[in-house]
C-alpha cells in the first residue's frame, strides 16, 4: 500500500528528514562551539557556585547568580546539542571524536565514570569527617540553621571544596578518558590509574588553594 505524500505520517517523516539535514549542515559548527563552550560555561558555573545556596539565606548577588545559572544552563544545552550531533552518520571519528565524547558525557569508560563518582564521594566524606559542625547545627537547629553564620560558613566551605576538587580533577578525568581510547584493549591500566587520579586531585586542590590564599 503506497503512502500518500500528504498524509500526517508522510509529512512527519519529511519534517524529520529536513530537521536532520539542517542538523547535518550545522553539526561541524555546533561541535566546535561545544568543544570550547562546554568547558568555558562549566568554569563560569564553578566560579560562581556559591550563589545558588546563598538564595536560601538572602545573600546571593544577582549578577553572579545570573552568571552561575546561565553557565549551567549553557552546559546542559551544549551537551544535548553535541550528543545530537554525535548521533548523526556524519559524526567525526578518531581523536576529535574522542575529545567530543568526553564533553558530551558519551561512551565513557567505566573507570572514568567510577573516578568521577569517587571524586565527589571522597571529597564529601573527607570534608564532613574533619568538619562535623555542619550536621550538628543542622540536627540541632533544623531550618533555623539558615540564620546561623556558622552554618553559612560551613556551606561556603563545602562548595569551595567542590570548586577546587572539580577544577583540579576534571582535567585528570579528561586525561584518563583519552587514555582509555588510546589503549582500548587494556582492561587493567585505567583502573590502576583511578587511585592516582584521586591523589593528583588532592595535590591540585592543595596547590590551587595555596595560590588562591597567596593571591588574597
Domain boundaries of the chain, sorted by first residue: 1-92, 108-216
CB 41 within 8 A of CB 67: no
Convert 56-94 to b/e letters by CB count within 10 Å (16 or more is b). eeeebeeebbebbeebbebbeebbebbbebbeeeebbee
Residue 139 CB-half CA count within 13 A: 5
CB 51 within 8 A of CB 60: yes
52 vs 118: CA distance, rounded Å = 24
pLDDT of residue 138: 63
Alpha-carbon torsion 66, 71, 76, 80, what sign? positive
68 vs 206: CA distance, rounded Å = 24
Taking only the tens place, the pLDDT of each residue in 34-88 is 999 999 999 999 999 888 877 877 778 889 999 999 999 999 999 999 999 999 8
The 8-class DSSP code of residue 107 comes to S
pLDDT of residue 3: 46
Residue (of 58, 77, 60, 208) closest to 147 by Cα position: 58
Dihedral through CA 41, CA 120, CA 133, CA 138, nearest 10?
Answer: 80
Is the model more confident about 8 or about 202? Answer: 202
Q: Which three cell numbers stand for residue 138?
A: 543542622
Taking only the tens place, the pLDDT of each residue in 146-196 is 656 666 777 777 788 888 889 999 999 999 999 999 877 778 888 999 999
Amino acid at each position: 500500500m503506497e503512502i500518500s505524500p500528504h498524509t500526517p505520517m508522510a509529512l512527519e517523516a519529511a519534517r524529520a528528514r529536513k530537521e536532520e539535514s539542517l542538523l547535518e549542515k550545522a553539526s561541524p559548527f555546533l561541535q566546535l562551539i561545544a568543544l570550547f563552550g562546554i568547558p568555558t560555561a562549566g568554569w563560569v558555573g564553578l566560579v560562581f557556585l556559591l550563589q545558588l545556596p546563598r538564595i536560601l539565606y538572602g545573600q546571593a548577588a544577582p549578577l553572579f547568580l545570573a552568571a552561575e545559572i546561565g553557565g549551567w544552563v549553557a552546559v546542559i544545552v551544549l551537551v544535548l546539542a553535541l550528543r545530537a550531533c554525535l548521533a548523526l552518520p556524519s559524526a567525526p571519528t578518531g581523536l576529535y571524536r574522542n575529545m567530543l565524547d568526553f564533553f558530551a558525557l558519551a561512551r565513557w569508560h567505566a573507570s572514568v565514570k567510577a573516578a568521577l563518582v569517587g571524586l565527589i564521594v571522597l571529597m564529601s566524606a573527607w570534608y564532613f569527617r574533619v568538619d562535623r559542625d555542619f550536621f550538628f547545627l543542622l540536627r540541632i537547629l533544623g531550618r533555623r540553621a539558615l540564620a546561623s553564620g556558622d552554618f553559612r560558613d560551613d556551606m561556603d566551605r563545602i562548595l569551595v571544596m567542590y570548586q577546587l576538587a572539580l577544577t583540579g580533577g576534571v582535567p585528570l578525568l579528561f586525561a584518563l578518558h583519552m587514555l582509555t581510547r588510546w589503549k582500548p584493549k587494556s582492561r587493567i591500566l585505567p583502573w590502576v590509574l583511578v587511585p592516582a587520579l584521586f591523589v593528583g586531585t588532592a595535590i591540585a586542590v592543595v596547590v590551587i588553594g595555596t595560590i588562591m590564599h597567596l593571591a588574597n
